[in-house]
Amino acid sequence: MEQIRKAKGITLDKFGELFLITRKRYKVIPLLFGWKLVKEETDEKYRMRMYQQITSWRNSWR
């Protein structure tokens, strides 16, 4: 878990692939004249979601 805390960018993505947790890349916002793509998940949000998923798996296995 300490390595995940220190990881950034592509290294964090590799840890996510290891645990089968993919990063949410884009979300679509409807506008009046079309659509807008916005990057949704930062490294910090992705790291927290990974922690929550891993701890829930750990608690369910006990």
Write down the pLDDT at residue 22: 84
Write down the pLDDT at residue 45: 87
How far is the C-alpha of 57 from the C-alpha of 45, rounded, in Å?
A: 18
Q: By the 8 A CB rule, do 45 and 23 touch?
A: no
Per-residue pLDDT reduced to its tens digit, 3-60: 777 888 888 888 888 888 888 777 788 888 888 878 778 888 888 888 888 889 889 9
Q: Where are the domains of the chain?
A: 2-60
In order of 11, 14, 49, 53, 54, the CA distances from 60 in angstroms are: 27, 24, 17, 11, 10
In order of 9, 24, 27, 38, the CA distances from 34 in angstroms are: 30, 22, 14, 13
Q: By the 8 A CB rule, do 13 and 23 touch?
A: yes
Would the pLDDT of 62 be above 80? Answer: no
